[in-house]
C-alpha cells in the first residue's frame, strides 16, 4: 500500500499538473482494479 499512498500523494499534490488530475485519478483507478484482480486470482488458486 505504500506505493499507492505515494502515488496518490504525488497526484494529489497542489499545483502539480492540475490539468492531468482526472487522468491521474483514472489511471490510478485502473491500476488498482487490475491489482485487485491479480490479488483475487492468486488468492483463489
Question: Over the chain (45 residues), what is each successive 10-residue block's mean pLDDT?
Answer: 67 62 82 92 83
Whole-number Å distance between alpha carbons of 20 and 12:
10
What is the per-residue pLDDT for 2?
67
Residue 17, φ and ψ in degrees, nearest 5: 45, 65
What is the number of domains present in the chain? Answer: 1
User: What are the CB-based long-range contacts (under 8 Å, 24+) for 28-35?
Assistant: 28/4, 32/4
Range of the domain at 17: 2-44
Cα of 22 vs its chain's centroid, Å: 12
At 22 the pLDDT is: 78
11: CB partners within 8 A, 6+ apart: 21, 24, 25, 28
Supply the pLDDT for residue 44.
82
Amino acid at each position: 500500500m505504500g506505493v499507492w499512498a505515494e502515488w496518490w500523494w504525488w497526484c494529489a499534490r497542489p499545483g502539480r499538473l492540475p490539468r492531468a488530475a482526472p487522468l491521474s485519478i483514472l489511471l490510478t483507478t485502473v491500476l488498482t482494479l487490475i491489482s485487485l484482480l491479480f490479488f483475487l486470482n492468486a488468492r483463489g488458486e
